[in-house]
Amino acid sequence: MLERREEADVTAFELQLQGYRLTTAEIIYRLPDHPALLQSFIWQKFDLAPDYPELRRFLEFWSRSIEGKLHSVNVKQSTAFGPPRFRHHKHELTMH
């Protein structure tokens, strides 16, 4: 787990070497004023599967500090880094 004071000094590459991957969470929640309406918030940060300590820390903050009641959280994570996966396609597009 990252210490807060060290976090700013650690590069994305260093985090990936430690097993962290870019993680995106869609947080679905309800506001007290409109409980029938579901709203969405996107959170993205480097995190460590399967425990997701950074996301858990954020969700704990949310529960303590934000009025929106959590409905669900959908988590996606990038794969391990490696050589770029680019492919060259011979294609021409003409627009008039």
pLDDT band at 13 (very low <50, low <70, confident <90, very high): confident
pTM value? 0.72
| 16 in a structural domain | no
Mean pLDDT (whole number) for 74-78: 92
| 87 in a structural domain | no
| 64 in a structural domain | yes
| 71 in a structural domain | yes
**pLDDT tens across 29-70, in order?**
999 999 999 999 999 999 999 999 999 999 999 999 999 999
| Full domain range(s) for residue 49 | 23-77
Exposed/middle/buried for residue 67 (C-beta within 10 Å: 0-12, 13-18, 19+): exposed
Domain count, the chain: 1
Alpha carbons 78 and 49: distance in angstroms, whole number: 11
What is the predicted pLDDT for the residue at 12?
86
| 65 in a structural domain | yes
| 96 in a structural domain | no
What is the predicted pLDDT for the residue at 90?
61
| 13 in a structural domain | no
